[in-house]
Structure 1
Amino acid sequence: MCPADRNDAATAARLTALLTAFSPGDETLGVSELARRTGLPKSSVHRLAGHLVTHGLLEREGTGLRLGLKLFEIGQLAVRQRGLVDAARPYLADLREATRNTVHLAVLEGTEVVYLDILRGPDAPRLPSRIGGRFPAHATAVGKAILAFSPESVVDTVISAGLPRISTRTITAPGLLRGQLSAVRDEGLAYDREESGVGVVCTASPLRGADGVALAAISLSGWTNRMRVERVAPAVRTTALALSRTLH
Structure 2
Amino acid sequence: MKVVMVEPGQYARIEEMDTGLESLQKAVGGLIDCAYPWEEMVCIVCNDEGLLNGMPLNRNVENYQPIAGPFFVCGIEGEDFCSLTDEQAQRYQAMFHQPELFVPYKTGLMHLKYDDPNLPGVPDTLKKAYQERHGLPELGFCSVPNLNMIMLVKYGQTGYWPIEHFPEGMGAEEYADTLNQMIGVSKPQQTAMLYGSMFGWNIPAASPERYDENGKPKPHGQRRGNQER
TM-score when normalising by structure 1: 0.32
More strand by share: 2
